Amino acid sequence: MIGAVIFIVVFLAVLGVSLGMPWLPPGYMIFDVLNIPAVDYPVLGIPAWLLIIGIVNGVVYGFIIWLIYSVIAAATGKGKKNQQISQTVNVQVGGGQVPPGTYEPRPQQ
């Protein structure tokens, strides 16, 4: 659950930074390699090409940071909850049930 929060926070931060500095890799490089035309069509007041670069950068960097967090959390054991498992056994002796821990064998006849 915390991994999703980390991804969203990094995504939004990198999206904001990319809107101010659109030449950050890999968004601009992918945009350039695919020969996507830089259309000035506004989406929420932001040029579409700038928004696409920001979203690509946010997804890429968000995924990388989430992956690093997940590997570190798994290596350190952080985030794992201690689980206690208890087991009860009901044993039938002479037709009735005996509470756990009070089992006595039948006398020899």
How is the chain split into domains, by residue range?
2-76
- Give the number of other Cβ atoms within 10 Å of residue 24's Cβ: 17
Q: How confident is the model at residue 40 (pLDDT cuts 50, 70, 90)?
A: confident
Strands 46-47 and 42-43: antiparallel
**Pick from 54, 58, 64, 65: which is nearest to 23 by CA?**
54
So what's the pLDDT on residue 66? 96
Residues 82-107 have a mean pLDDT of: 62
Residues in contact with 29: Cβ distance below 8 Å, sequence separation at least 6, in sequence order:
none
The answer to whether residue 92 scores a pLDDT higher than 60 is no
Amino acid 83: pLDDT: 58
pLDDT, position 10? 97
Name the band, by pLDDT with cuts 50, 70 and 90, for residue 54: very high
